[in-house]
Amino acid sequence: MKFTDLEVSEDWEALFGIPECSGVWMIWGHSGNGKTRFALKLAKELTKTGKVLYNTLEEGARKSFQRAVKQSYLKGYSRKIIVLNREPIEEMKNRLRRPKAPKIAIIDSFQYSGLTKAQYKELKEEFPDVLFIFLSHAEGKHPEGRPAKFVRYDADVKIHIDSYIASAVSRYGGGKPYIIWEEGVKELEGSL
């Protein structure tokens, strides 16, 4: 069986190694800690491998999301990052069934997707060549809800976001923390 590796720069490789371009990742953290900003930076990095779908189920393409896009320096990436404005999972699946569909899909958030454990398994089985990256709310230091916790255990790459720092546990190596937003980290350190 042939696997396609993601093309990533050294900073990203230090975080999660060099994963294949399929499977499941889980990114979770509390609100206001940098999940969306991180996911947008990740989407930009993953365009080195191919087109990326970003489904904004939770936030939608509102002003706050547009601000995060601007802060992530995504100008010029509109042909490589396809933002879906709260597209239902069934419609997104139809999109992924098309010839030449993107092979990377970021879903923000798992809770807003409404997927059950069984539906998640069906999604993964139907699209074995797609990399699904789920963002999740947090409950303590874990993803919120039973289905999200199941996805975390099933995921190849698990990324926890806290105070604008991403920490990963990956089946592909890595492990070095990634600073999402330097100014945010400094502001938080200054307030302690």
pLDDT in tens, the chain (192 residues): 678 899 999 999 999 999 999 999 999 999 999 999 999 999 999 999 999 999 999 877 767 667 766 666 667 777 898 889 999 999 999 999 999 999 999 999 999 999 999 999 999 999 999 999 999 999 999 999 999 999 999 999 999 999 999 999 999 999 999 999 888 888 877 775
Describe the crossing of helices 117-126 and 146-154 by its angle, rounded to 10 degrees.
Answer: 40
Is the residue at 41 inside a domain? yes
H-run or E-run covering 123: helix 117-126
Domain holding 54: CATH number?
3.40.50.300
Residue 7 belongs to some domain of the structure: no
**Would residue 137 count as lying in a domain?**
yes
- Domain membership flag for residue 1: no
In a domain, 97, yes or no: yes
Question: How many angstroms separate the CA atoms of 26 and 37, rounded?
Answer: 15
Residue 2 covered by a domain: no
Which pTM value belongs to this model?
0.93
Domains contained in the chain, number: 1
What are residue 68's phi and psi, to 5 degrees?
A: -65, -40
Is residue 12 one of the residues assigned to a domain? no
Residue 44: give the domain boundaries. 18-190
The rounded distance, in Å, linking the Cα atoms of 45 and 166 is: 15
Q: Is residue 8 part of a domain?
A: no
